[in-house]
Amino acid sequence: MSKKIQMLVYVTALAVCDTIIPIPITALVFIYVIFQKPQWFRDWTEEIYRS
C-alpha cells in the first residue's frame, strides 16, 4: 500500500471517529503536533514528500 493511500485511510478513520465520538480527535492531534513538534511527524512528512 502506498503512503498516500495509507494516509488517506488514516485520515478517513479519524474522520469517522470524529463523527462517532463527540471529542474532536483530529483537532487534538493537530494541536499536539503544532505545540510538541514530534520527531515522528517530521519523519512522516519527509517520507511522504520524498516519494
> How far apart are the C-alpha atoms of 22 and 24, rounded to whole Å?
6
SS3 state of residue 24: coil
Phi, psi of 8, rounded to the nearest 5 degrees: -65, -40
pLDDT value of residue 36: 92
- Model confidence pLDDT, tens digit, residues 1-51: 787 888 889 888 888 887 887 777 778 888 899 999 999 999 988 988 987
DSSP 2: -
Confidence (pTM): 0.49
Apex 31 CA angle, 46 and 5, nearest 5: 40
> How far apart are the C-alpha atoms of 8 and 42, rounded to whole Å?
18
